[in-house]
Amino acid sequence: MHTIKKIFFLIFATYFEITMKEFSKEVYLKWYEEMTMWRRFEDKCRSLYLKQKIRGFLHLYNGQEAIPAGFTHAMDLSKDSMITAYRCHIHPMAMGVDPKRIMAELCGKATGTSQGMGGSMHIFSKEHRFYGGHGIVGGQIPLGAGIAFGDKYFDRKAVNICFMGDGAVRQGALHETFNMAMNWKLPVVFVCENNGYAMGTSVKRTANHEDIYKLGLGYEMPCLPVDAMDPEKVAEAAYEAIERARRGDGPTFIEARTYRYRGHSMSDAEPYRSKDEVAQYKLEDPIEIVKQRIFDNNWATQEELDALEEKSRAFVEECVEFMEESPYPDANLLYDYVYSTPDYPFINKLENN
């Protein structure tokens, strides 16, 4: 099946005279270094949460690293944008946001991406066109279409990648957005990161079918599933969808079939799945897939990969050090980023009391 899809992709690319960056040694070594760093970053976040240095909610991304790796390989990072839900630490790193600032944001420090006032679920970077980080389930779906509308209106030739979880596809906003995006041929790629369980309920218990990508069929939207444990397969599907949107032919809906190795959040005891099931999926670990492909092509030795892992470990420690040395935001700033009007009456009432 993978061979057939690759042949189709090559025919598609040849017909439209488009090319994607090749899957070279440099790309795979970059993927390995980044994906191992992302995994270590999330593991460190778990440790910091247990030490109560990260408060509130914390949703880890372990196991899903192939998705941002593949998509950013296919994107034009000079103009394309991204928006996602609350499992949002890794996507902005893939877009170029400094992980040190993300770590600072997670711990509520003033040097964070939202000056310490957003936290884990609200990473944001206008500079790198990463527009969140959204805590409302499915709330980012119409926003992604709105960003794409702006791109089309101003003829930016840019595409928005709008991620959502499998739980979010049950929201009515998805259907309203799909209808509008197809009607207006908006340059957006909708991506369901289907890790199987939403918060803790399996996909097969929430709908009459398990093929989430088929939701696009009702709107005649091109739609397909992809093995999202493999960054190369992700990149191929992403590039086809992105270039279709960039040409003005409208959106695509991709179901990225993945698996999360941690619970939904730090409070998740995971009663809905067995340890054996998790262990079975770890045999398809995206980092191990990248590692094996590097070995198959003789692109690096074990010692060289060990050196990259050590580099990733050291960098994550630098992120923690940066966070620890950063100050907390001044309490006087509490209302500065809530109301755009300086003399909003509610603030005056607080001051008078």
For the chain, the domains span 2-352
Whether the per-residue pLDDT at 267 is higher than 70: the answer is: yes
* Domain 2-352, classified CATH 3.40.50.970, yes or no: yes
In this prediction, residue 4 has a pLDDT band, given cuts at 50, 70 and 90, of low
The per-residue pLDDT of the chain, averaged, comes to: 92
Nearest CA to 40 out of 321, 295, 324, 311 is that of 311
- Is-above-0.85 flag for pTM? yes
CB atoms within 10 A of CB 253: 27
Residues in CB range of 65: below 8 A, 6 or more apart: 35, 38, 39, 90, 231, 286, 287
pLDDT per position as a tens digit, 110-162: 999 999 999 999 999 999 999 999 999 999 999 999 999 999 999 999 999 99
- The model's pLDDT over 161-187, given as tens digits with 9 standing for 90+, comes to 999 999 999 999 999 999 999 999 999
Residue of 320, 211, 200, 319 whose CA lies nearest to 262:
200
* pLDDT at residue 108 is higher than 80: yes
pLDDT band at 14 (very low <50, low <70, confident <90, very high): very low
Is 301 strand, coil or helix? coil
What is the pLDDT averaged over residues 276-287?
95
